[in-house]
Amino acid sequence: MNKPYYVTAEGPDQGTYVRIGAHTLKANAAMIEELRWQARGLHFETMLHYRTTPKDLDNKKIRAFLSSRPQQKSAKISETILKAYQLIGQEHAKHMLQMLDFCCLEKILSIILAKQ
């Protein structure tokens, strides 16, 4: 049986439910698509954003993030660092940003900086 699992009588679009905390909710189209990606081993956060390059990154925010890391305070922004934090990926010898950058980096940075 292939994921996502669904109530057969309702069909995949109307009968797919997800568990969120203590609640079971009907999955919307975006959730169903994400479940299909996960079934294929793909995750939105690690997908490449094809219209970007590493130049599109906000180096000021990356420096702020690195300075908040005990072992990375003096680290320079490099390809190795950006790959380690999964901010860039490579396909066909071209570097591109990963979706995590656009979706989560600002939120992650604000959480880290708020704890200081």
Q: Determine which helix (DSSP H) or strand (DSSP E) holds 26, and give its type and residue range.
A: strand 23-26
pLDDT of residue 34: 84
Average pLDDT of the residues in 6-21: 91
pLDDT at 80 over 60: yes
pLDDT of residue 49: 75
In angstroms, how far is CA 13 from the centroid of its own chain? 24
Structure confidence by residue, pLDDT tens digits, 14-68: 999 999 889 999 999 988 988 888 888 877 777 777 777 778 888 888 888 888 8
Cβ pair 105, 61 in contact under 8 A? yes
Percent of the chain with pLDDT over 70: 78
Alpha helices in 40-98 (DSSP H): 59-68, 79-84
pLDDT at 95 over 70: no
pLDDT of residue 67: 86
Cβ pair 43, 37 in contact under 8 A? yes
pLDDT at 78 over 70: yes
pLDDT of residue 7: 92
Average pLDDT of the residues in 64-88: 82
